[in-house]
């Protein structure tokens, strides 16, 4: 089968299209023919690799544990192991391969009951294409993890989503709105129109206005792109408010430790776990019309290097899809 392999860490050009052996499902595994995948921050962070934690996960000097990237996908079940009961050949599915990656390929095997870090799949929302479904798991699950699990967002709360035009931010706007919050979206003016259509109540252009200086305060500030100053943001939180930090890297962890946290204000980071029940929740929300993916560009698997270069500009709007099978 075709797969994009990386045998050393480095720039996007280390990604190379090769022929490798097609996987065979074990007793408890589902063999998926991948129709679409994506380029996420997790992919480029593991390839660069950035941070050093990536080398700890996948080999200090060269990729060892996995040498195929791609962490989310949509496709069709081609075969199932003898113990599999929930899926059958022909089922259309979407999901994540978790921290085993391997979705930049024509086929992948995932255990039927895996959850979180080992990946997770469920049936694809009926009203989405494969490309649309492939870009749901990571961005939506990250937004859900921060807004519901960490932030416990309640109806009527004031929530600010910083970097609302990112993948995580675009799902964050929709989920916060769905939870009944009053949503302020911060992104550049060129993205205001479509982000507002996702449900934002107020728009701020971060290039023209510093929201931390306006005197307005929020129950939750969700930094979806890791670009906010912690000290300014803490001032813009209400007493008891929470700063939700999607990009909780070493530097930010140190800043968070020393940031002034008066009046029960909290800073919460963490990593979304990609739970199976979350995928089912997204399927329901999507089919009920409460959640949708925003797609900026689509590239064929053969153009993975160009797609990756584009994502690494840090300017994509929503998501970038990689098509493996044209439909």
Residues 189 and 209: their CA atoms lie apart, in Å, by 11
Residues 189 and 203: their CA atoms lie apart, in Å, by 9
Per rule CB under 6 A, is residue 163 in the interface with ligand NAP? yes
Per rule CB under 6 A, is residue 247 in the interface with ligand NAP? yes
Region of 113-121, 163-171, 193-201, 254-262 interacting with ligand NAP (CB under 6 A): 163-171
Specify whether the CB–CB gap between 170 and 144 falls below 8 A. no
Percent of residues in the chain assigned helix, strand, coil, to nearest 5: 30, 25, 40
Cβ 136 to ligand NAP shortest distance, Å: 12
Nearer to ligand NAP, 23 or 97 (CB): 97
Nearer to ligand NAP, 191 or 308 (CB): 191
Region of 59-67, 70-78, 102-110, 134-142 interacting with ligand NAP (CB under 6 A): 134-142
Take residue 195 and report the two structure tokens written for it: 């982000």
Cβ 61 to ligand NAP shortest distance, Å: 23
Per rule CB under 6 A, is residue 136 in the interface with ligand NAP? no
Q: Binding string to ligand NAP for residues 169 to 198, with x set by CB under 6 A, is what?
A: ------------------xx-xx-------
Alpha helix ranges (H) inside the chain: 41-47, 52-58, 130-134, 137-144, 167-178, 192-197, 230-235, 250-258, 276-287, 304-311
Per rule CB under 6 A, is residue 142 in the interface with ligand NAP? yes
Per rule CB under 6 A, is residue 58 in the interface with ligand NAP? no
Nearer to ligand NAP, 206 or 261 (CB): 206
Residue 258 buriedness (CB in 10 A; 0-12 / 13-18 / 19+): exposed
Angle value at C-alpha 251, between 248 and 255, nearest 5 degrees: 90
Residues 128 and 125: their CA atoms lie apart, in Å, by 6
Residue 289 buriedness (CB in 10 A; 0-12 / 13-18 / 19+): exposed
Per rule CB under 6 A, is residue 268 in the interface with ligand NAP? no
Residues 214-233 that bind ligand NAP (CB under 6 A): 224-227
Residues that bind ligand NAP (CB under 6 A): 40-41, 138-139, 142, 162-163, 165-168, 187-188, 190-191, 206, 224-227, 246-247, 271-272, 314-317
């Amino acid at each position: 089968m075709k797969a994009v392999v990386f045998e050393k860490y480095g720039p996007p050009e280390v990604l190379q299209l090769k022929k490798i052996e097609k996987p065979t499902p074990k007793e408890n595994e589902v063999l998926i023919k991948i129709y679409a995948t994506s380029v996420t921050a997790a992919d480029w962070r593991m390839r660069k690799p950035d941070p050093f934690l990536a080398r700890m996960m996948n080999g200090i000097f060269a990729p060892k544990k996995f040498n195929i990237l791609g962490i989310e996908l949509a496709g069709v079940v081609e075969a199932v192991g003898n113990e599999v009961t929930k899926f059958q050949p022909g089922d259309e599915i979407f999901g994540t391969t978790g921290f085993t990656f391997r979705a930049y390929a024509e086929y992948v095997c995932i255990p039927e009951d895996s959850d979180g870090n080992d990946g997770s799949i469920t049936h694809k929302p009926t009203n989405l294409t494969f490309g649309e479904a492939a870009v749901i798991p990571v961005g939506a699950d990250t937004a859900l993890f921060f807004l519901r699990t960490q932030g416990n967002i309640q109806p009527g709360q004031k929530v600010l989503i910083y970097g609302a035009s990112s993948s995580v931010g675009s799902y964050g706007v929709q989920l916060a709105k769905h939870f009944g919050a009053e949503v302020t979206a911060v992104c550049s003016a060129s993205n205001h129109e479509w982000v507002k259509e996702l449900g934002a109540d107020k728009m701020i252009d971060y290039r023209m206005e510093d929201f931390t200086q306006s005197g307005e305060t929020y129950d939750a500030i969700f930094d979806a792109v890791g670009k906010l100053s912690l000290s300014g943001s803490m001032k813009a939180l209400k007493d008891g408010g929470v700063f939700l930090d999607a990009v909780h890297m070493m530097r930010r962890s140190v800043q968070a430790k020393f940031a002034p946290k008066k009046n029960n204000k909290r800073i919460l980071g963490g990593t979304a776990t990609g739970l199976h029940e979350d995928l089912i929740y997204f399927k329901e929300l999507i089919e009920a019309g409460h959640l949708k993916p925003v797609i900026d560009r689509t590239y064929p698997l053969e153009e993975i290097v160009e797609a990756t270069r584009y994502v690494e500009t840090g300017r994509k709007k929503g998501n970038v899809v990689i098509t493996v099978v044209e439909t």
